[in-house]
Amino acid sequence: MASAKPPSPARPQVYLHIGTPKSGTTYLQNVLWRNRGRLREQGVLYPGDTRHAHVQATFDLRETSFEGRPNPANRGAWDRMVGAVRAWRRGPAIISQELLSQALPHHVERALASLDFADVHIVLTVRDLARQLPAAWQETVKNRSMQPYEEFLTALQGPPSSWSGPVKAFWQTQDVARVLRLWAAGIPPERVHLVTVPPPGAPRGLLWERFCSVVGIDAARCDTGKVFANASLGAAEAELVRRINEAVRYKISWQQHNLLVKRHIAQEVLARRKGTKIELPADRRAWVASRSRELVEPLRGKGYHVVGDLEELLVPPPDAGGSPEPLPPSPAEMLEGACDAIGWLLQHRAQLDARMDAAPAEAGVQAQLKAKELREAASLLVERATPLSRRVVRRLSERYPAVMRLRQSYWRYVSAGDDARA
């Protein structure tokens, strides 16, 4: 009598967290990165040697970059990540990057074909449209958009044939049914997971707990302290960055903008200010409520695994009495933000000068060239940003001693530089 065959080993499980943008993805990715050692102890792999490995792998897969063209530095990053997943034998693996939601059909085909050794799960975190719209607009501004908020909202309501740039990208990623038509075709619906972002006022860790329940992670064994989310800007701060973008008008490189404007000025300086929250205008709320229903209804009855509640994605229509219209940012609010930004740029410029002076000529040529490049970019930003506040700076410096001190410090710095160059 022939002996029974041993059971086949279980196929690996790979969780592709493909979006959506502005749905807590940065927070989740930072928790995953910070806890990758604890995850390995639980048999879960979050691959990558650096925090940016998943971004690089996604850009390699999609043959693009933040500059809109392939970056040779990313070449082979997707295959390396898949190789790490294939070599993992202890449990599930997670690949997380919201830019995957913008993939084209041939990118999706390549991704799923490269993972054909595993059972692939598709994970989307999804947030209601009323919170997505302001968040998405300010993110486009951080990434060099010059489009005003109201113009952005108007363009979103236009017909698909009119969509372009940030508007087209928004609907590509926020229309979850469209995203799933690409990524979930041929995947059993029970392996498609929709994780809804909890409503305002919910416990901060609830989104992480919902995500963990999909993969089988013990959330309590992970450290979520000191983990930052993608910092939000206030209305005045976002408008200030938009005007800086207009003033500079691509006269600095993407790398310089990413470092100086997005990372430092927007996310480190301006995001710390307690600015007025960017609100959805009252006259847009009825349309947003209707559009939300259009986006959510196709998700029902598909058999997808929903963690949370699809009702959390619906936006209630405006009250009969109406909602107060948000006031536009005042010049004084933008001036205060501009002063903080200019103050940081002056300090940054001084630090770069000091580094150039200290760098040994025989060993620091590249360092000096890099510092010179960033110093020139910082100088241009100071030059372009300063006129934003000139209309009111004299009047407000009489009212605010801090503004007066900043003006005096700035001109002392300029005068010292002129003397040194004379």
Q: How many helices (H) and strands (E) does the chain have?
A: 17, 5
Contact 20, 98 (CB under 8 A): yes
Query: What was the pLDDT predicted at 320?
Result: 47
Return the sign of the alpha-carbon dihedral for residues 395, 400, 402, 408: positive
Classify residue 19 as left (phi > 0), alpha (psi -120 to 50) or beta.
left
Query: What was the pLDDT predicted at 346?
Result: 86
Instruction: Report the SS3 class of residue 117.
Output: coil
Instruction: Report the SS3 class of residue 115.
Output: coil
pLDDT digits 0-9 by tens, 100-112: 999 999 999 999 9
The pLDDT-based confidence of 407 (bands split at 50, 70, 90) is low
User: Has residue 393 got a pLDDT over 60?
Assistant: no
pLDDT (average), residues 334-357: 85
Query: What was the pLDDT predicted at 1?
Result: 46
Query: What was the pLDDT predicted at 354?
Result: 80
How confident is the prediction for the chain on average, in pLDDT?
Answer: 86
CA angle 397, 398, 400 (to 5 degrees): 60
> Measured in whole angstroms, how far is the alpha carbon of residue 184 from the centre of its chain?
24
pLDDT (average), residues 56-84: 93
Query: What was the pLDDT predicted at 345?
Result: 87
pLDDT digits 0-9 by tens, 12-53: 999 999 999 999 999 999 999 999 999 999 999 999 999 999
The pair of structure tokens assigned to 163 is 């969509």
User: Has residue 8 got a pLDDT over 60?
Assistant: no
DSSP of 293-338: HHHHGGGTTS--EEES-GGGG--PPPPTT--PPPPPPPHHHHHHHH
Phi then psi dihedrals of residue 33, to 5 deg: -65, -45
Q: CA nearest 197: which of 129, 287, 97?
A: 129
Distances (CA, A) of 220 to 42, 92, 122, 152, 198: 12, 18, 24, 40, 19
Query: What was the pLDDT predicted at 405?
Result: 61
The pair of structure tokens assigned to 111 is 């991704």
The pLDDT-based confidence of 2 (bands split at 50, 70, 90) is very low
Phi then psi dihedrals of residue 342, to 5 deg: -65, -40
pLDDT digits 0-9 by tens, 307-344: 999 999 999 888 744 556 677 888 888 989 999 998 88
- CA–CA separation, 131 vs 278, rounded Å? 9
User: Has residue 246 got a pLDDT over 60?
Assistant: yes
Query: What was the pLDDT predicted at 288?
Result: 96
- Tokens 């580094």 identify what position? 355
The pair of structure tokens assigned to 73 is 């530095």
pLDDT digits 0-9 by tens, 176-208: 999 999 999 999 999 999 999 999 999 989 999
The pair of structure tokens assigned to 402 is 């801090």
The pair of structure tokens assigned to 171 is 């609907």
Q: From the CA atom positions of the chain, what is the Rg in Å?
A: 24
Query: What was the pLDDT predicted at 326?
Result: 72
User: Has residue 79 got a pLDDT over 80?
Assistant: yes
Query: What was the pLDDT predicted at 362?
Result: 45
- CA–CA separation, 80 vs 95, rounded Å? 12
DSSP of 218-248: -GGGS--TT----PPPPHHHHHHHHHHHHHH
Query: What was the pLDDT predicted at 269?
Result: 92
User: Has residue 388 got a pLDDT over 80?
Assistant: no
Which of 106-110, 267-271, 272-276, 340-344 has the highest average model confidence (pLDDT)? Answer: 106-110
pLDDT digits 0-9 by tens, 131-163: 999 999 999 999 999 999 999 999 999 999 999
For 195, the enclosing helix (H) or strand (E) is: strand 192-196
Contact 135, 22 (CB under 8 A): yes
Query: What was the pLDDT predicted at 369?
Result: 60
User: Has residue 295 got a pLDDT over 60?
Assistant: yes
- CA–CA separation, 132 vs 305, rounded Å? 22
Query: What was the pLDDT predicted at 92?
Result: 98
Dihedral, CA of residue 61, residue 64, residue 70 and residue 76, to nearest 10: -20
DSSP single-letter state for residue 382 = H
- Tokens 């909890």 identify what position? 198
